[in-house]
Amino acid sequence: MPYARINMFEFSSTEERDKNAAKLKNNIKSVFPEIRSFVTMETSETAGLAISIYDDNEAADRALLQRDKYHENTGLIDIISHEGNVINFYVEEPYLDILQKTGS
């Protein structure tokens, strides 16, 4: 069953947050090979929220190790996670392309 993790994160500066977002945008699949869906949004000048979806809980658990390794020395101050089985997902088909190009 698809499994989601929501991460609320805080970086040491706006620059660190934006640098991290740009790096992930360009290589998300090399950092998290099993990720199926990913979206981030800013919630303040230095913080944000990310939603990641995986095939199952086991794949999401493997991603935790990848996440911790990826964030070494990135200016990440704090991260809080919520997770569970996906029970509903919707995106209007015409907006998939627009969403994928966001932040380009």
Question: Is 29 a residue whose pLDDT tops 60?
Answer: yes
* The CATH number, out of the four listed (3.40.309.10, 3.40.1160.10, 3.30.70.100, 1.10.760.10), of the domain defined by the range 3-100: 3.30.70.100
Its pTM stands at 0.86
Q: 6, 83 in Cβ contact below 8 A?
A: yes
Using one digit for the tens of pLDDT, what is the confidence trace for 53-79?
A: 999 999 999 998 888 888 887 889 999
For residues 17-36, give the mean pLDDT: 90
% of the chain beyond a pLDDT of 90: 63
Q: What is the pLDDT of residue 104?
A: 47
Which pLDDT belongs to residue 103? Answer: 58
